[in-house]
Chain A
Amino acid sequence: MRADLDRREKVCAFIEEEYSGEVEVLHLLEVLRDRIGFEALARKVVVPLSGLSVAAYYGCLLLRPPEEVGIDDPEAPTILEEFLSALGCDPVDYPYKTECCGSYVLLQPGEAALSPSRLVVESAKSRGAQVIVTSCPLCQFNLDYAQSGNAERMDYGLPVLYFTQLLAIALGLGEESLNFEEHIVPPGLLFQSVGVLGCGGLT
């Protein structure tokens, strides 16, 4: 929008408004890392999540295309792990963290959609993860949905959280903000068992 005049004209004509790209678009993780700083974040933590093994899952949304987004190294990213460390968690390393979750192929029936998500969940589980954290709502849904617990979708019991949910817990926000009842694999019990939540949201 800033550099391409033709495109700007087209977009403005469509939205019927003047706009020349002056808004800087940032990801919340970037704000936390670059504006607030992970060290400052660590000092704000009221409910330390120490001892919780968390697998960071990147998928594609956060990192690609690298020359446009440039948040982190697309092949070997670390921003989510750094975020998790700031909250006191133990990040789990596993090989599938930047693989595809299957994206909207999930809407198609059959193996094609399921297998990518399942590989990610299996791999995280085998490396001892207690929970997976994503930075993309679709990844969150796919990895969670892959564990629906029927014949095709084996339940690994691995809750999948959007990273802000974990942030909310660490910063001491109430359970009402977490919307755990929307999850397929219920996270409540896990957090109760590690003693960071008073009662399970929906178990």
Chain B
Amino acid sequence: MRCGVFICHCGLNIGGVVDIPRVLEELAGYDNLEHVVDYKYFCSDRGQQLIKDAIRDKNLSCVVVAACSPSMHEATFRKTAESAGLNPFRCEMANIREQCTWPHRGEPEKATEKALEIIKASVEKVRRNQVLSPLSIPVTRQALVVGGGIAGMQAALDIADAGLKVALVERLPYIGGHMAQLSETFPTLDCSQCILTPKSSEVGSHPNIHLFTNSEIHSISGYVGNFNVTIRRKATYVNWELCNGCGLCMEKCPVKTDSDFERGLAKTKAISIAFPQAVPNRPVINEETCRHFTRGKCGVCEKVCPVGAIDFNQEDTFFDWKAGAVIVATGYDLHPKARVGEYGYGTIKDVIDGLEFERLNSASGPTQGEIRRPSDGKVPKEIVFIQCVGSRDEEKGYPYCSKICCMYTAKHARLYKHKVPDGQPYVFYMDIRAGGKGYEEFVQSAVEDEGVLYLRGRVSRVLEEDGKVVVFGVDTLSNKKVRIHADMVVLATAIVPAEGQRELARLLKISTDEWGFLSEAHPKLRPVESLTRGIYIAGCAQAPKDIPDSVTQAGSAAAKALALFSSDTLSHSPEVAVVDEELCTGCGLCIEVCAYDARTLDVQRKLAAVNEVLCEGCGACQVACPSGATSQRNMETSQVMSMIDAVI
């Protein structure tokens, strides 16, 4: 094997610590190396050209690039090697930056020794590397989107508009998510329904979108390009094919119950459509409140339905769907009421949260858009908004910022002033975070033009006294304690991941952070990919964000899925585990240690096997295998031994 070594200075990152001339000198005498050379930046065009030229001129059969981490530039240099006619799997990185000069900056001599050892070990490895070619995986060119809020809708539309099929699965009976509950949107104050409903109806009628509402993911298996999904559509007890949406059933239903869509501020019936513009515009029976289910008698809806659509015997139905890519956009919930006792949230009727205030503002809400407080329907003349309730509060809530509250609170205060011009809104805040196009201007206008009184400080307590909601706070700018006898209080409660998101993440085998938000593959460079290939994330499922950010991220996730669908096959690294069937005893240890579900056992033949597509080449099974039957391509035990020999 004719081996070449390329030592990168990485500017001063490596060159400023390691004694490069000494490394060159020592390697020159090392075991028949064909070519040893250094350069300031091998990742540059010129640097790559040097590698290509050396491969051709010296007829190299393997190369080591001693530079940064392989996760940084392995792909770069393997492509370089390939373009010079070398098999890319005969190019190895020796990581002398992250694993050498960065941690040993203060001890250059030892770092030089270590760099030499890392390079020599890599040389021994690459000399024993086989010629490999990438594995090819077939791709099912259709997608699955989980969550029918604005992010999920946008992702589904983008994929569908590109001509590919997509299944959109939404847990609730309607699509639109929380955006359907909003009145106006910041910073333009355009009506949320007006911009959402055209999109909803487009989703509902798009020939490429298979819409599953009132549905959940029952099971999912497979891997990138080849997910097998079972969707469970929960019984609605209404045959939607027959139903014509006349609404007679809802009119005649005798059971009144709190409306979840109106966040308990209005009643709905046991058979209901959440709101008039809902897509699909078909009713669902709530079996927890419906008299037929709770008491075993009633059936008024069944009697009045002119088309016989009511079906109390309807059962959950299951649909199979194949998907090449999955986009998770499961949205958010608000911080639970029970945990904000000091603000009377959940006990004082006139202490409400931001989404409840949206409903009070909404023209189609419980008060037809008039601001009236829940307890007695009076128009509040003094109203207090409290920001950061649960957010940025490690003691009682979460350390993170919920991102949208500064903006929607400013919006709420302004909308309130528009509707109650003689009223006084107060806002308690910690800082104002209004980064975004037109956002700071929007908040400033609330302060300067609309007379919203901003008080920088926290509220310690909210009490109910003589029909007023008394707010105890502090204004840290004037250093005064503040007591406001308000008529109503609106809490900007923290955004938390939607209920069930952790369970879904477990089902999909993707990770979450400690709060349950989905983890992205890289916070800056891969923000819409999960760590599992073929699964993408969008919207508040990943972190709190506003509508423009959710739509942007959804579009980006759709673009990633479309890129995956751009060819019928995908390539996968061949550096995965292989089994020597002669040696395998079928003990199954490899299955236990595999983190990727890539190992399977054929019980009858007593043989373990590898699903090469799922295998990430971590090597855990190779280590666990007691008989030496499992090895990893280009990381054979013999290679590892020779690497160790090179070091000691």
Tell me, in angstroms, the Cα distance from A76 to B347 when the chains sit together.
10
CB distance from A189 to the nearest CB of B (A): 29
Instruction: Give the residues in chain B near A96, CB-CB below 8 Å.
Output: 463
Q: Which of B323-365 contact A (CB under 8 A)?
A: 341-342, 347
**A103-141, CB under 8 A of B: which get 1 and which 0?**
000000000000000000001001000000000000000
* Complex: A75 Cα to B338 Cα, angstroms: 10
**Beta-carbon contact of B342 and A75 below 8 Å:** yes
Partner of A99, one of B341, B347, B461, B466: B461
Find the B residue at minimum CB distance from A127: B465
Do B341 and A95 touch across chains, with their CB atoms under 8 A apart?
no
Tell me, yes or no, whether B74 is within 8 Å of chain A by CB. Answer: no
B465 touches A95 (CB 8 A): yes
Q: Does A73 contact B (CB under 8 A)?
A: yes
Q: Is B182 an interface residue (CB 8 A)?
A: no
Chain B CB count within 10 A is highest, among A95, A96, A123, A126, for A95
The minimal Cβ–Cβ distance linking B220 to chain A, given in whole angstroms, is 40
In contact, A76 and B470 (Cβ under 8 angstroms)? no
**Within the complex, what minimum Cβ distance (angstroms) separates B150 from chain A?**
35
Closest to B340 in A: A75
- 13 A-B contacts (beta carbon < 8 Å): A73-B341, A75-B341, A75-B342, A76-B341, A76-B347, A95-B463, A95-B464, A95-B465, A95-B470, A96-B463, A99-B461, A123-B465, A126-B466
Which residues of A lie under 8 Å from residue B470 when comparing CB positions?
95
List residues of chain A with CB within 8 A of the CB of B342. 75
Question: With A and B bound together, what is the CA distance between A96 and B347 in angstroms?
Answer: 15
| CB under 8 Å from chain A, chain B span 455-485 | 461, 463-466, 470
Chain B residue at minimum C-beta to C-beta distance from A73: B341
Quick one: which of A71-112 are within 8 Å of B by CB?
73, 75-76, 95-96, 99
> How far apart sit A73 and B341, CA to CA, in the bound complex (Å)?
9
Q: Which residues, 180 to 201 on B, are CB-close (under 8 Å) to A?
A: none
In angstroms, Cα B341 to Cα A27, docked, is 24
| Across-interface contacts of A73 in B (CB, < 8 A) | 341
| Chain A residues close to B by CB (< 8 Å) | 73, 75-76, 95-96, 99, 123, 126
Cα–Cα, bound, A95→B465 (Å):
7
A95 to B463, CA, bound (A): 6
Question: Bound state CA distance, A123 and B470, in angstroms?
Answer: 12
CA distance A75 to B466 in the complex (A): 20
Bound-state Cα–Cα, A99 to B464, Å: 13
Interface centre among A75, A99, A126 (most CB of B within 10 A): A75
Q: How far is the CA of A99 from the CA of B481 in the complex (A)?
A: 15
Majority DSSP secondary structure for residues of B touching A = strand
**Chain A residues closer than 8 Å to B463, beta-carbon distance:** 95-96
Q: Which residues of A contact B465 (CB under 8 A)?
A: 95, 123
Closest to B344 in A: A95
Chain B positions within 8 Å of A99 at CB level: 461
Closest to B348 in A: A95
State the 6 A-B residue pairs at the shortest beta-carbon distance, nearest first. A75-B341, A95-B463, A75-B342, A76-B341, A95-B465, A95-B464
Closest to B465 in A: A95
Cα(A153)–Cα(B347), bound, Å: 33
Min Cβ gap A142→B in Å is 18
Mark each residue of chain B from 367 to 390: 1 if its CB lies under 8 Å from any CB of chain A, else 0: 000000000000000000000000
* Chain A proximity of B257: nearest CB distance (Å): 26
Interchain nearest-CB distance for B147 vs A (Å): 34
Residues of A within 8 A of B461 (CB): 99
Instruction: Kindly identify, within residues 212 to 243 of chain B, every residue whose CB is under 8 Å from any CB belonging to chain A.
Output: none
Please measure, in the bound complex, the distance between the C-alpha atom of A99 and the C-alpha atom of B463, giving whole angstroms: 10
| CB-defined contacts of B347 to chain A, threshold 8 Å | 76
- Shortest CB-to-CB span from B471 to chain A, Å, is 12
| Nearest CB of A to B400, in Å | 22
A120 CB to closest chain B CB (Å) equals: 11
Bound CA span A203–B466, Å: 34
Distance in angstroms from B238 CB to nearest chain A CB is: 41
A104 to B466, CA, bound (A): 30
Query: In the complex, what residues of B have CB within 8 A of residue A76's CB?
Result: 341, 347
Apart from A75-B341, A99-B461, A123-B465: 9 A-B pairs, beta carbons within 8 A: A73-B341, A76-B341, A76-B347, A95-B463, A95-B464, A95-B465, A95-B470, A96-B463, A126-B466
> Measured between alpha carbons, how far is A126 from B465 in the docked complex, in Å?
10
Residues in chain A near residue B466, CB distance under 8 A = 126
A126 to B347, CA, bound (A): 20
Distance in Å: Cβ of B460 to nearest Cβ of chain A:
9
With A and B bound together, what is the CA distance between A25 and B464 in angstroms? 35
- State A62–B461 Cα separation when bound (angstroms): 18
Chain B residues near A126: list those with CB within 8 A: 466
Closest B-chain residue to A95, C-beta based?
B463
A95 CA / B347 CA spacing, docked (Å): 12
Inter-chain CA distance A107–B465, complex, in Å, is 29
* Distance A123 CA – B465 CA, assembled complex (angstroms): 9
Chain A, residue nearest B483 (CB) = A119
| A126 to B467 Cα, complex, angstroms | 13
Q: How far is the CB of A93 from chain B (nearest CB, A)?
A: 10
Chain A residues whose CB sits within 8 angstroms of the CB of B341 once the complex forms: 73, 75-76
A117 to chain B, nearest CB (A): 15
- Whole-angstrom distance from the CB of B562 to the nearest CB of chain A? 50
**Distance of B414 from chain A, by nearest CB (Å):** 31
Nearest CB in chain A: distance from B46 CB, A: 60
Report how far A12 CA is from B466 CA in the complex, Å.
53
Which residues of chain B in 464-521 are interfacial with respect to chain A, using CB atoms and an 8 Å cutoff?
Answer: 464-466, 470
- Complex interface residues of chain B between 438 and 470 (CB less than 8 A to chain A): 461, 463-466, 470
B-side contacts of A95, CB under 8 Å: 463-465, 470
What's the Cα separation between A12 and B341 when bound, in Å? 40
Min distance, Cβ B319 to any Cβ of chain A, angstroms: 46
**Chain A proximity of B485: nearest CB distance (Å):** 12
Residues of A within 8 A of B464 (CB): 95
CB distance from A121 to the nearest CB of B (A): 14
- How many whole Å from A50's CB to the nearest CB in chain B? 28
- Residues of chain B within 8 A of A75, CB atoms compared: 341-342
CB distance from B554 to the nearest CB of A (A): 39
Q: Within the assembled complex, what's the spacing in Å between the Cα atoms of A123 and B472?
A: 15
A166 to chain B, nearest CB (A): 25
Measured between alpha carbons, how far is A16 from B62 in the docked complex, in Å?
Answer: 74
Please, how many angstroms separate the alpha-carbon atoms of A31 and B470 in the complex? Answer: 35
**Measured between C-beta atoms, what is the minimum distance from B394 to chain A in Å?**
13
Would you give the shortest CB distance from A185 to chain B, in whole angstroms?
A: 23
Q: Min CB distance, B351 to chain A, in Å?
A: 12
Question: Whole-angstrom distance between the alpha carbons of A123 and B347 in the complex?
Answer: 18
Residue of B nearest to A112 (CB): B481
Return the chain B residue nearest A94 by Cβ. Answer: B465
Residue of A nearest to B346 (CB): A76
Instruction: State A73–B466 Cα separation when bound (angstroms).
Output: 25
- How far apart are the CA atoms of A95 and B342 in the complex, in Å? 11
Q: Distance in Å from the Cβ of B28 to the closest Cβ of chain A? A: 58
